[in-house]
Amino acid sequence: MSLLARRSCRWLLAVPLLALAACVTTPPAPKRTLDAAQRHSLLQDLGAFSLTGRVAVAAAGQGSTPSVEWRQQRDLSRVKLSGPLGVGSLQLEYSADSLRLITGNGDILVDDAAQAVLSRELGFVPPFAALRYWILGEVAPADAAAVETRDADGLLQRLEQQQWLILYERYMPVSSSAGIAQMPARLTATREGLRLRLVVDRWRLQ
């Protein structure tokens, strides 16, 4: 066999191997778990997040256990409560300037009228401005915390702020663009006979 023929044979044998190598993809590297400082930075700069779960509310001798969907877009909170409420589902939008509520009947109420419905159906008006931070496992920036207890990984376990006591009972790993963040899966907030217990089924961090 001539030298040219031998080189041609080697080339023909190499082509399938090159094609096979081209089809092999490198698996993506596993995401890192964020430490306390990285997690705090992620959550402080987070443009949007959402969660779905269940909430148990007890106040003034009455209680309810609606399912909850919370969607946060910058400073606008959109919360939907569905379940055993006297007016069916409740959809509310909260910002620093206003509170807007849509009942299951389609009635639209704002500010004082919306607070009146929440007081009647839940027994109190949740502290939405701070709650949007507490559900993330973060201290609300408006006021200093009276008590702030963290575990060895820097995750909040106990927080006292604005006369509320928040106990973080369980966390869950949640994927984000920056890595894996430990997010609250179960927490309880109490204040003077009021109790708000949240169990999160799913987080989405954007």
Give the tens place of pLDDT for each residue, 124-160. 889 999 999 999 999 999 889 999 999 999 999 999 9
What is the DSSP secondary structure assignment for residue 34, as one 8-state letter? Answer: P
pLDDT at 189: 97
Among 158, 118, 121, smallest CA distance to 137 is for 158
* pTM over the 0.85 mark: no
pLDDT band for position 45 (cuts 50, 70, 90): confident
Number of alpha helices (DSSP H) and beta strands (DSSP E) in the chain: 4, 12
Structural domains in the chain, sorted by start: 36-205 (2.50.20.10)
Q: Which of the pair, 164 or 28, is modelled with greater confidence? A: 164
Among 191, 188, 128, smallest CA distance to 156 is for 188
pLDDT at 18: 47
Q: What is the pLDDT of residues 50-86, one digit of tens each?
A: 999 999 988 867 777 889 999 999 999 999 998 765 5
Most confident of 95-99, 183-187, 189-193: 183-187
Question: Tokens 């409740």 map to which residue?
Answer: 90
Q: What percent of the chain has pLDDT over 70?
A: 83
pLDDT at 83: 77
pLDDT at 38: 96
pLDDT at 3: 46
- In DSSP notation, 85-128 reads -TTS-EEEEE-SS-EEEEETT--EEEHHHHHHHHHHHHSS---H
